[in-house]
Amino acid sequence: MTIHFGTSGWRAVIADEFTFAAVGEVTEAICAHFANETDRPVIVAHDTRFLGEAFAAECAQIIVGHGFETLVCNGPTPTPTVAHAIRSNHAICGINFTASHNPPQYSGMKLSTEDGAPALPEVTTKVEELLGKPPENQPKAAAAKTPRSFDPRDGYLADLEQKIRFDLISAAGGHYAYDPLWGTGRGYLDELLQRHGLSVTTIHNWRDVLFGGQAPEPEASHLNQLKELVLSEKCVLGLATDGDGDRFGVIDANGQFITPNQLIAILFDYLVESRKWQGGVARSVATSQLVDRVAKSHGLPVYETPVGFKYIGELINEDKIILGGEESAGLSIKGHYPEKDGLLACLLAAEAVAARRTSLTDQLEQLFAQTGRLESGRIGVKLTPELMPVLKEKLKEEPTDIGGRKVKSLNRIDGLKIIFEDDSWLLVRPSGTEPLVRIYAESESAKDMEVLLEQGRKYLLG
């Protein structure tokens, strides 16, 4: 079995590759990597998946055996809350047992470093190299320390209250709907809104390790019940978060799903206008260039990164950007953690609607009127053993024409991005979290974008 850290941690199917033995091996390697930092605590957490608390307990017991103080979050905990806990407790790292938005049969280990950011490849590569190797210095007696349970929730919520204009949201009033998708956001996002005088109807707010039989991903096809609730109860917004609370989904008052690509552009424009902050915007290579057009209208720079929020997190740490976002519904802002935060994104959407007294749909149309319309989408192709060598060859090619479109340039930051003469584009890359090949496309019309996606599939499969 090969254990590999992908875009956001190590993920595998429970009882297949994700076993207590494998968790122990990864934990030992992490302890070996941080062996000279035992004077600082380690944060351990889990989401609502099957056996999450048992895996976390096993991990914590190994960590204290290596002499670290170990703080175990006392219930299912969002990934951004873990990031705050790491920073506020001056921890050397954090380990969260979660597979985020993956299907319910998966679990995973997200490793975050002392700044609260997902561990960069230079860290995870060293951890992988230590897997299965005997420790250079033997573990210290476990009796020296025992794992300590603690509650990170209140500190995280208090921090969010300093970063969101709840005075504006409260003044605007209205009713909200929230769907945590049986994940860790329950008792976080709804609690904050209620604390500030808003009424909230929450659905799917109990633990279901099968997540209703689907992946806990807040995409449009998974939010039909939320949409119905928004329309029937005349809500300001319908808000959703994924299994570990780091991704967002937003339904506008008219029932329209606002895509992550669209919300990133809207919120960047809103923050530039409302905060008067200096800096640029960061997006992954797979994310819509609508935000580039917004940045150009404000005379601000754009930073393009590989897929994986850890790269955007570096720019937040360097205070270079006002906002960083990914089309997979990851977002964070200046002064926040270098980790995506779905709860923050949902609250910023509520703030933008309250402050501007205008729906997100109308704000999007206003952006399109200024910048021109862009439509983006993606599809997934199962990465079979037969397709793997084909993919490797395709990523090396230098096409000059795809479906009759002339290629203007190629971008190999992550996968193969093909930019055409009309500035539409196509990207082919393997997923870092699932056995899939992702195909992304963007054009000025939805119909042409769909055509591009199909051309991308044909290009891949030949």
Return per-residue pLDDT of the chain as tens, 462 residues. 689 998 789 999 999 999 999 999 999 999 999 999 999 999 999 999 999 999 999 999 999 999 999 999 999 999 999 999 999 999 999 999 999 999 999 999 999 999 999 999 999 999 999 998 876 655 554 455 799 999 999 999 999 999 999 999 999 999 999 999 999 999 999 999 999 999 999 999 999 999 999 999 999 999 999 999 999 999 999 999 999 999 999 999 999 999 999 999 999 999 999 999 999 999 999 999 999 999 999 999 999 999 999 999 999 999 999 999 999 999 999 999 999 999 999 999 999 999 999 999 999 999 999 999 999 999 999 999 999 999 999 999 999 999 899 999 999 999 999 999 999 999 999 987 788 999 999 999 999 999 999 999 999 997
Burial 169-187 (b: 16+ CB within 10 A, else e): beebebbbbbbbbbbbbbe
Asked if residues 235 and 346 have their Cβ atoms less than 8 Å apart, the reply is no
The predicted structure's pLDDT at residue 140: 53
The predicted structure's pLDDT at residue 281: 98
Burial of 207 per CB tally in 10 Å (0-12, 13-18, 19+): middle
68: Cβ–Cβ under 8 A, 6 or more apart, which residues? Answer: 31, 34, 38, 40, 41, 42, 92, 145
Among candidate residues 260, 236, 248, 251, the one with its CA nearest the CA of residue 343: 248
Burial of 404 per CB tally in 10 Å (0-12, 13-18, 19+): exposed
Structural domains in the chain plus CATH codes:
10-152 (3.40.120.10), 163-371 (3.40.120.10), 375-461 (3.30.310.50)
Q: How many CB atoms lie within 10 A of CB 47?
A: 29
Contacts 24+ apart (CB under 8 A), 150-155: 150/71, 150/72, 150/73, 150/74, 150/85, 151/73, 151/74, 151/75, 152/43, 152/45, 152/73, 152/77, 152/81, 152/82, 152/84, 152/85, 153/77, 153/81, 153/187, 153/188, 155/84, 155/85, 155/88
Paired tokens of 318:
């360097």
197: Cβ–Cβ under 8 A, 6 or more apart, which residues? Answer: 170, 173
The predicted structure's pLDDT at residue 8: 80
Cα gap 337→314, rounded to integer Å: 10
Among candidate residues 245, 231, 230, 238, the one with its CA nearest the CA of residue 263: 238
290: Cβ–Cβ under 8 A, 6 or more apart, which residues? Answer: 261, 262, 264, 265, 367, 371, 374, 376
The predicted structure's pLDDT at residue 69: 96
Q: What is the 3-state secondary structure (H, E, C) of the chain?
A: CCCCCECCEEEEEECCCECHHHHHHHHHHHHHHCHHHCCCCEEEEECCCCCHHHHHHHHHHHHHHCCCCEEEECCCCCHHHHHHHHHHCCCCEEEEECCCCCCCCEEEEEEEECCCCECCHHHHHHHHHHCCCCCCCCCCCHHHCCCEEECCHHHHHHHHHCCCCHHHHHHHCCEEEEECCCCCCCCCHHHHHHHCCCEEEECCCCCCCCHHHCCCCCCHHHCHHHHHHHHHCCCCEEEEECCCCCCEEEEECCCCEECHHHHHHHHHHHHHHHHCCCCEEEEECCCCCHHHHHHHHHCCCEEEECCCHHHHHHHHHCCCEEEEEECCCEEEECCCCCCCCHHHHHHHHHHHHHHHCCCHHHHHHHHHHHHCCCEEEEEEEECCCCHHHHHHHHHHCCCCEECCEEEEEEECCCCEEEEECCCCEEEEEECCCCCEEEEEEEECCHHHHHHHHHHHHHHHHC
The predicted structure's pLDDT at residue 142: 44
